[in-house]
Amino acid sequence: MNPINTIPYELPADAPWLVTGCSSGMGREIAQLIASKPNQRLITTARNPSSLSYLPEGNPSILKLPVDVISPTSVTKAFEAAPAHFGANFHIDVLVNTAGYSLEGDTEAITEEEMHDELETLFFGTFRATLNAVRIMRQHKDHRGGSIFNLSSVAGGWRESVAREMHPDWNIHFCLVKPGAVKMNFGTTSKKHIKPHEAYDGFDMPSRVLDAYVEKGLQSSVEVKPAAVADTLYLVASRNEKIPLRLPLSVAAVHLTIAKLQGQLKDLESVS
């Protein structure tokens, strides 16, 4: 099995970053951070470019683009617009996939259209941006490579599979970021709700218990600040060390990961 992220990654001093979903939340925080870094270049994207007004105008190191990740054409045009703006020798060094929204409710109650829309954004949106980035990263004559950060657990399994397809000489690194509870609108205004199914509507049903747990977290002070996540991503990309395949960024994310692995281990032991 092909190993992943086996060598340290060195972030170039003039690295271009392409970040999806920059209108709010994590994408906005990451965009603001990269825009503040000397010599780093930024391609920032959103469905409505006016939502990117928080970034300065007239800065040649910042390119604002209208992108809807559910449209293959829209994503492809963004990767074509970047070299047109930055020059023929343009190379994307870092891709950060943050575009998305959460869908809350009972699986049996979800409509096929709701599930399709969710997968189009979280999975296929990540898929489209990642393949465009890989195509550029792997073709650099000096194996400049790059790093790809995904903030979507929906694309987690696919992300690991495609990471294992990368030739080591391409110098392409993948990272699945698991922030846990983050203080942003992903759990509020960027969340779509499914009408509860009558069979799952009891207060003791797992879905309702989870709803209460999430709401309690939103009202508490234990959430990670988006700026802290952005700082960590930049640190991981720029510290000239190996990029971790999985990056849990909160105590909750670590505990959930440990619990999942322990459960899988018990399952293996029960059939061995």
Instruction: For residue range 253-264, list pLDDT tens digits in order.
Output: 788 888 888 998
Predicted confidence at residue 260, as pLDDT, reads 85
Exposed, middle or buried by CB within 10 Å (0-12, 13-18, 19+), for 197?
Answer: middle
Query: Mean pLDDT in the chain?
Result: 87
Predicted confidence at residue 181, as pLDDT, reads 63
4 lies in some domain: no
Domain residues for 123? Answer: 16-195+224-271
> How many residues would you count in the chain?
272
Is 198 in contact with 4 (CB distance < 8 Å)?
A: no
Please name every residue paired with 172 in a beta bridge, in sequence order, or none if there are none: 146
Domain count, the chain: 1
Q: Render pLDDT for 184-227 as a digit per residue (tens, 0 to 9).
A: 554 555 556 667 777 777 777 777 777 676 666 556 555 678 88
76 lies in some domain: yes
247 lies in some domain: yes
**Is 90 a residue whose pLDDT tops 80?**
yes
7 lies in some domain: no
207 lies in some domain: no
Predicted confidence at residue 189, as pLDDT, reads 54
Mean pLDDT value across residues 231-260: 90
218 lies in some domain: no
pTM more than 0.75:
yes
Q: Render pLDDT for 91-134 as a digit per residue (tens, 0 to 9).
A: 999 999 999 887 777 788 888 998 899 899 989 999 999 999 99
The 3-state DSSP class for residue 64 equals strand
Torsion sign over Cα 70, 73, 76, 80: negative
E strand or H helix at 97: strand 94-97
Range with top average pLDDT, 8-17, 149-158, 209-218, 223-232: 8-17
Take residue 212 and report the two structure tokens written for it. Answer: 């209460």
Predicted confidence at residue 130, as pLDDT, reads 96
Range with top average pLDDT, 79-83, 181-185, 196-200: 79-83
8 lies in some domain: no
2 lies in some domain: no
CATH of the domain at 245: 3.40.50.720
